[in-house]
Structure 1
Amino acid sequence: MENSSENLSYPPIFRPSDVHHRGVETHGLMGPEASGPNHDIPAIDLENLIDQENLEEACRNWGIFRAINHGIPETLFGQLLEHAKKVFLLDFETKRDLFKSPVTYFWGSPALTQEGETINEGNIDWVEGFNFPLSQLFHLPIEQDPNIRTFRVLLEEYGMHQSRLAKTIFQAMAKNLNLSPMQVNDYLSLKTGFIRVYRYPQYYSDSSKIWGMNPHTDSSVLSIIGHDDVGGLQIKKDHSWLDVKSKCESLVVNVGDMMQAMSNDKYKSVRHGVRVNNKKERISIGYFVFPAEECVIKSDIYRPFTYSDFHKQVQEDLLTKGFKVGLQNFLLTKAP
């Protein structure tokens, strides 16, 4: 690490001395998959969504795309990144004690792995972060630090932009899928939106040994991710892992599990993970949005379920199986 203050800002398990003394590197951590050169993902111009074919192709064949001309001021995102870094630089104990539910601080979150890709006991994601429900930002402890006060203002403005983008993108998808007006209204609830800010610490040893975030699919309808210029995103496509080019002026949009179910599997929830970097830390800011709380998702492929049903099943699977099974739990069974 570059300095002692930054070292103290990391959770103890991520600090150089603790890693070597506690044997984190010998816990059987599974590193990122080998991949080829950086690839680019489809780019969708959000100012020209009349061209629906490109969006349709991206959702069907990739489950991910790059949003350009999104209308978020570059200065806003730059300020948000800078204040995120300042808040992350608070001592670990301060962050742990200040940020309580519903605004929470987390680190080393468990991987949401698929069957056959479970991680060995002791494996962790090399990441720390904050979870900010947009409807609960008033809970931020702004009286504790002026940086947190400014951070809240920036999050509020950024969240309004994200809500606008999510609505625009979802309505275009819904049009392609011929969803009814009632489905459009219930399947995406902006009240559920939250922002998650991630910091992936520099991994000063062999960064091929671990994931910053283990491979998973998002449980959301849509996820919209902004990031700095440090790469690391990998996606799985056609049974191969690809490195995604880092273009910090654009946003990355993931199709989530809920969108896959709504589309009768026409759109694919992209499987993705994040590699750590052995020279720099990485900051990303994700927006996640879900169906209305009591909304029942109806599909020709899956039995009817709410997001609450899905979330409870995911938590149960993580506790009992150690990995996320996801939509397979809700597949319709054939009559005997």
Structure 2
Amino acid sequence: MEISKNNETSVTTKHDYDRASELKAFDETKDGVKGLVDASVTKIPRMFHHKFDKDSSSTSSNITKLDVPSVDLVDIHQDPTRRKIVVEKIREASEKWGFFQIVNHGIEVSVLDEMKNGVIRFFEQDSEVKRELYSCEHLRPLVYNSNYDLYSSPAACWRDTFYCFMAPKFPKPEDLPSVCRDIMLEYTKQVMKLGNVLFELLSEALGLNPNYLGEMRCNEGLAIVCHYYPSCPEPELTLGLTKHTDNDFITVLLQDHIGGLQVLHENSWVDVSPVPGALVINIGDLLQLITNDRFKSVEHRVLAKGTKRL
């Protein structure tokens, strides 16, 4: 409509965007972002549009070309000298980066690959099957939805997620999706075993007895969180995951080959480039708390990209 004032004419536009209705309509489909991709959308809904300031831009112009530290765990149980070197690398990475990648960690590549494939099978199964599991009820044995904070966040992220708690109380096998049940159980056993090793090394990095963090029961719980990032037709407008820190002791992350993960290091975003067979470890809020801020829980995010990944 036109408004006239002091012989000058200006034009105002009526803001008719109904965000609440768009969120509700999206949520009620129970198809998540994968449903939008299956519908061959070429423009992402406005609810996914993020506002990027200069410091958080998703463009590559402000991405620092550094490498997140990598730690090779080979022979740490047989060679005391080698173990001391590894402990020192973990200490430095935990204090300066809050992130590091590990190789020769003891989990077979076949297990890692099958875990990634299991997640893909879950999200790419028939929509009717997934809709039966779709829920925002966080007390369910397994929770599947798109964005857990869909109605409270400033903008939705271009991803779908399912998660469940695997320890200390094991879920009933029938509560896990049949398409990835076996690998979730096997992967849990392997990661719990690795977690015990990591907490030993982290304890030593603090100058403490190797069993210190284990005796504090830091290694008793495990939640598996599986994100699925479908291809995005307008990746420059959104994010796969907004910047955040993790509210746990440590996170063990299995990346696919496409990447998109970035860590905030010295006020710059740094790509965490995928390394075949590696796992990404990051310090969580609880470990920063109990180490009196010696080990850092740092912000990280995931970019949306034009190629599907998890």
Secondary structure in structure 1 of the residue aligned to 2:119: helix
Deviation of the 1:91 alpha carbon: 3.5
Matches within 5 A, 1:130-279: 130-134=162-166, 135-138=169-172, 140-141=174-175, 148-149=177-178, 151-179=180-208, 184-190=214-220, 192-205=221-234, 207-278=235-306
Q: Name the CA distance, whole Å, in 2 between partners of 1:21 and 1:157.
A: 37
Residue 53 of structure 1 is matched in structure 2 by 88
CA-to-partner distance for each residue in 1:271-319, whole Å, 9 max, x for gaps? 10001111x1111xxxxxxxxxxxxxxxxxxxxxxxxxxxxxxxxxxxx
Aligned-partner residue type, residue 281 of structure 1: K
Q: 1:32 aligns with which of 58, 68, 73?
A: 58
Matched AA of 1:282:
R
Aligned to 2:20: none
Deviation of 1:74 after TM superposition, in Å, equals 0.8
Aligned partner (choices 87, 92, 104) of residue 143 of structure 2: 104
- Label 1:96 to 1:59 Cα distance change in 2 as closer, same or farther (>3 A): same
d(CA) in 2 for partners of 1:198 and 1:21? 19
CA offsets 1:122-161 (integer angstroms, 9 cap, x no match): 511211111021134425456xxxxx43521111111111
Structure 1 residues 164, 50: closer, same or farther in 2, change over 3 A?
Answer: farther
Unaligned runs of 5+ in 2: 1-30, 77-82
**TM-score, normalised on structure 1?**
0.69
**Aligned counterparts of 1:183 and 1:257: Cα–Cα separation in 2:** 15
CA distance in 2, matches of 1:21, 1:197: 22
Corresponding letter in the other structure for 1:138: K
Preserved contact between residue 105 and residue 129 of structure 1 (Cα < 8 Å)? yes
Identity of aligned residues (%): 24
> More helix per residue: 1 or 2?
1
Matching residue of 1:295: none
Deviation digits for residues 235-280 of structure 1, max 9, x if unmatched?
A: 10011111121213100000000110111111100210001111x1
Alignment of 1:281-300 (within 5 A): 281-283=308-310
249-258 or 150-159, which moves further after superposition?
150-159
- Which of the two has higher C-alpha Rg? 2
Report the residue type matching 1:245 in the other structure. S
8 A contact 1:109–1:125 mirrored in 2: no
SS at match of 1:248: coil
Q: Matched residues in 1 for 2:291 and 2:141: separation? A: 31
